[in-house]
Amino acid sequence: MLVLVAPGQGAQTPGFLTPWLDLPGLSDTLRDWSAAVDLDLVHYGTKADADEIRDTAVAQPLLVAAGLLASAALGPEVRPDAVAGHSVGEITAAAFAGVLDETEALRFVRTRGLAMAEAAAVTETGMSAVLGGDPEQVLAHLERLGLTAANVNGAGQIVAAGTAEQLAALAADKPEKARVIALKVAGAFHTTHMAPAVSVLEATAHGLAPRDPSLRYVSNRDGKVVFSGTEIVDRLVGQVANPVRWDLCMETFRELGVTALLEVCPGGTLTGIAKRALPGVKTLALKTPADLDAARELVAEHTTG
């Protein structure tokens, strides 16, 4: 049983889409998507530097476009048993499952990125990864400092989010036996600091006509499989101001009997977590077109449909 997953913000690197645009038709596709969302995704995926693609309003549509390109390159015959995405990757997963079409997904994520960037500009906020330590002790420590556990990723990784002052206090006062690494993101995502973006996305969602998913869709909110397209969109709206529970998603993968996990471009982050948290599950990160043959072999070996 195979789950197809899409990474979240921070997975992007300068030029990561360059080799993908050498594949037939993908350059034209990305140009069409660029026009649809009024953002030069070709430039940002090939020539932009790290600072340019760190911008939330750029990074989010760029990541969703990358996942959709990788899926197109795999081919329409690839049908995973389940899909999931981390944070903004949930929008990619919604497109994989047919809840939104590609253009709807990209327009929705473009609005999301702009709204979250605007919300992040109100107060100086950010995020830091807390690696190691006892999870319960880490969560209690963050609460004492006024921080939110914005991403509970499993495998000994929790991402804290809050104001610059709160994160500075965390760096100076780390949880026992834990390391703290500041992340290169422009805001305290998945916290109450993002509440203004929720109202923007609620208005945008009224213009969508979501379909029920054609594949099992595993949600970040609680790790549950969601069968209603309308509920999935509702969850995508609220998700920006609520924690990502990737640990619960992986518990669901385990319960479903997942035997392989394939992460679309720019893969690596979620496969790294899965290697530690899901022993025995085969993993593959789809980083460049050179990985496509191995990805298709994994799909053929592990899909049950």
Residues 88 and 94: beta-carbon distance below 8 Å: no
27 an active-site residue? no
HSE of 158, CA atoms in CB hemisphere, 13 A: 23
Structure tokens at 227: 């069968």
What is the Cα gyration radius of the chain? Answer: 18
- Helix residue ranges per DSSP H, the chain: 26-37, 41-46, 50-54, 56-74, 89-96, 102-120, 135-144, 164-172, 195-205, 229-239, 246-256, 269-277, 292-302
- Catalytic residue selected from 87, 141, 193, 219: 87
Query: What 3-state class would DSSP assign to 276?
Result: helix
- Catalytic residue selected from 190, 193, 219, 302: 190
Establish whether the linkage from the previous residue to 175 is cis, with ω within 30° of 0.
no
d(Cα 305, Cα 302) in Å, to the nearest integer? 9
d(Cα 276, Cα 129) in Å, to the nearest integer? 16
Strand 260-263 with 282-285, pairing: parallel
87 an active-site residue? yes
Query: What is the identity of the amino acid at 215?
Result: L
d(Cα 206, Cα 38) in Å, to the nearest integer? 21
Active site (catalytic) residues: 87, 190
